[in-house]
Amino acid sequence: MIPRSGPHGALINRSMLPVKLVSAVLVQFVVLVIGSSVLAGEASAIPSIGRVGTGSYARVAPTGARRPPETIYAVDTLCPPFPTNQWWSSVLWTPLSDAHYPHPLAVRAERTGLRVFYPGPQIIVTSRSILASMPGGSEDLTIGHSHIRSFDEARVETYSDWFVTVRFGDFKTGMSLTYGHGSPFVYAQYRGGTARIVFARKPEIWAGSPAEHAVAITVNGKHYALFGPRGSKWIAVDDSTWVNLASESPVFSLALLPEKSEKAFALFSRYAHSRVIGTEVRWQYDPATSSVVTTFNYKTVEYEGSSPGTLFALYPHQWKNTDVKILPYEYASVRGTMKLAEGQSFTTRMTFPGVLPVLPATPSWNRTIVDRYLEEDCTKTRGTTGDTYWEGKWLGRQATLAALATENGNRAVQQKVLRQIQQRLEDWFTAAEEGGRLKSSRLFYYDGRWGTLIGYPAAYGSDTELNDHHFHYGYFLRAAAEIVRYDPSWADASRWGGLLQMMIDDIACRRRGDSHFPFLRCFDVYAGHSWASGHARFADGNNQESSSEAMNAWCALILLGEATYDTALRDLGVYLYTSELYAINEYWFDVSSENRPRSFDKPVVGIIWGGKADYATWFSPRPEAIHGINWLPFHGGALYLGLYPEYVHRNYEALVAHKGGPNWDQWADLIWMYRALDDPQDALRQFSAAAGGFQPESGNSKTNTYCWIHSLLDMGRVDRSVTADHPLYAVFRRGEHRTYVAFNLRTVPVTVHFSDGTQITVPPGSRIAIQRVTKRSP
């Protein structure tokens, strides 16, 4: 899977290609680039089965299996693989899209053109939601075509990392509209006509003139600028309809202005026809400072004398962590205040807090009790194979049990559980029965029309809608990481690495332009977090519920990359983990209490949507579920939940108040473990009062609950003020003492340097080192 050579801990500067225009033709076998090697799917005696190393996958869907739709709304020149799970994905899935939310704008492809709406001034707060959605009516305005009153469909013409171009009509008569995350502009190019703008009501003109190419207007209390080509003018067909009269070069740009002022109008005029034709993200993990530097680049083409570059609005997780000059203009959004900047790129710097394979054994562990819990938990066999989600949760649970057995010195249980998960994974990674025929379940199928890997039995629309792949497969990858900790050769290309790499690439392919999987399928590089829905066909846009299950997947990539010397995979995991962490703390948790309206009194939301934030889940109205769905599963990569103990306290106390006391109807184990990040003594008290009679959440275990609480009891709270130059680290503080923890999954000793001057040397071979010192003065 991953080369066993190369620089250890090297800095990776990932250079990406720009706009994604794939012209490759799918072949009958999968070719995967793994590290610096190429792995080709071997020919099989059975055409329906592809082989990669020891593993195999289905080339045809098993009998009775459901698949994503055959029709994909993209222009003919755009070939698979297609991006799903993006903020704009509904354009691909429907003839005319559902609402989608690039922010600060909201847009929707309709028969009359692209409807544009600014939700910021109309945010609604209820007891359970913050709503900034596009209404069902016609406000604010629609960008249409002067010669076509109705379109049957809109198709994706091209896309880049956070922009998309949608074509209405055909190549001879129609329009192509380009818009993207953070952009206050919509750019249009017309064929066989010019811009036709239909307003919700008669607009107020306050700058420029319809007799000129540029004019500023207010409609519904929102301020827009309309920019036709130079020499053109606007004519009012009626009170609410304008058409741009241009003799040639029929380009048009719409801009959402942050305020009603000549100064803002002049600023936007400078960039009005600097059309964004490509966007590109690059990331770099710097171990020396434990930081992730992410660069966002814009490729523009200048028309009509516009200035190079563009204007862009930054989300809170971006403007709080960038050194780009912020202009004195802002937009309101459901994510909080967006701040305007200008240029051709900007950079963010974020701190990576480290991950662990497992929390270490500490003195308060009663080894006899841990062994008893291990035996009890390990007697609960999985039985028949479940769907990819529930099978995955079981695999993740077992991986944590194996790690805890190692920490407790119980080799017998560790080996037993490792054999269980290895046999189970190898079964899933084998598409043929013993007789050579294609299996009907417990296998993965590659769908070449969309460019995706689908596991059967599927769950929650992971087959027909391509939902939740990073949730499901993240558990599989976490289990694989536990095997690879002790046997890195299991992930070699000649063994199971090919299927493992296909699973990684399905959710987070790092190679832009890959012919089989889209770039970072589940991750939104500008929003900073993942999306769960494959099709995003909702009035509120795309959504993600369990951000913590996304973090579980990215942690698995870090562990796999570190154990197999694949620094590119490790750094991909570090980038995804760190970016999503910052987004979680801003939008799911709002740890700073700065991003939500003050009238919304909940300390957490269960689901983030494009157009709203919900104190809810997809499956339960209980507060335990709403809070807990963004905690599970608890593992060595879940310590980020404790980076802000003061917020942990606030979140927990709100849950207690909602319940009228610590009276938990479900998921008590998860609540105790979360409580332990702030007050492990109280967590232990509640755990002990249950006397082992509780039923843990299905992806958790009594062993994990006991060990987590007791480890934090000894080590204290997570200390975010200290970092390390090695990815597998954590620092804790209890009273006057700090505890430094580092794991080494490689075959040579590693000396880990912490930012406060402490250093520890960790022996090779999945080993751990712990050092406790008296807390130093800042």
Q: CA-to-CA distance for 475 and 477, rounded, in angstroms?
A: 5
- Burial-class residue 755 by CB neighbours within 10 Å (0-12, 13-18, 19+): middle
Q: CA-to-CA distance for 565 and 559, rounded, in angstroms?
A: 10
- Are 245 and 261 contacting, i.e. CB atoms less than 8 angstroms apart? no
Catalytic position from the list 545, 566, 624, 669: 545
Counting every residue written for the chain, the total comes to: 778
Residue type, 124: I
What token pair was written down for 652? 């927990």
Q: CA-to-CA distance for 45 and 50, rounded, in angstroms?
A: 9
Q: CA-to-CA distance for 492 and 4, rounded, in angstroms?
A: 9
- Are 300 and 344 contacting, i.e. CB atoms less than 8 angstroms apart? yes
What token pair was written down for 548? 């913590």
Rounded (5°) CA angle 188-191-196: 55
What token pair was written down for 465? 């809608």
Q: How many CB atoms lie within 10 A of CB 733?
A: 18
Catalytic position from the list 139, 468, 571, 719: 468
- Burial-class residue 690 by CB neighbours within 10 Å (0-12, 13-18, 19+): middle
Question: To 10 degrees, what angle do helices 702-715 and 367-378 make?
Answer: 150
- Are 90 and 80 contacting, i.e. CB atoms less than 8 angstroms apart? no
Residue 468 annotated to the active site:
yes
Q: CA-to-CA distance for 647 and 421, rounded, in angstroms?
A: 36
Pairing of strands 452-456, 113-117: unpaired
Q: How many CB atoms lie within 10 A of CB 656?
A: 15
Residue 545 annotated to the active site:
yes
DSSP 754: B
Distances (CA, A) of 316 to 119, 281, 333, 494: 17, 18, 10, 45
Render the burial of 481-492: b for 16+ CB within 10 Å, e for the rest: bbbbbbebebbb
- Among residues 748, 712, 743, 715, which one has the least CA distance to residue 727? 743
Render the burial of 517-553: b for 16+ CB within 10 Å, e for the rest: bbbbbbbbbbbbbbbbbbbbbbebbbbbbbbbbbbbb
Q: How many CB atoms lie within 10 A of CB 258?
A: 24
319 CB contacts (<8 Å, ≥6 apart)?
Answer: 326, 338, 339, 341
Which residues partner with 443 through β-bridges? 456
Secondary structure (3-state) at 328: coil
Q: CA-to-CA distance for 363 and 427, rounded, in angstroms?
A: 39
- Are 19 and 159 contacting, i.e. CB atoms less than 8 angstroms apart? yes
Compute φ and ψ for 431, nearest 5 degrees: -90, -10
DSSP 587: I
Rounded (5°) CA angle 484-488-489: 125
- Are 357 and 428 contacting, i.e. CB atoms less than 8 angstroms apart? no
Give the helix/strand (H/E) hosting 652.
Answer: helix 645-659
Catalytic position from the list 342, 549, 624, 725: 549
- Are 330 and 340 contacting, i.e. CB atoms less than 8 angstroms apart? yes
Residues tagged active-site: 468, 545, 549
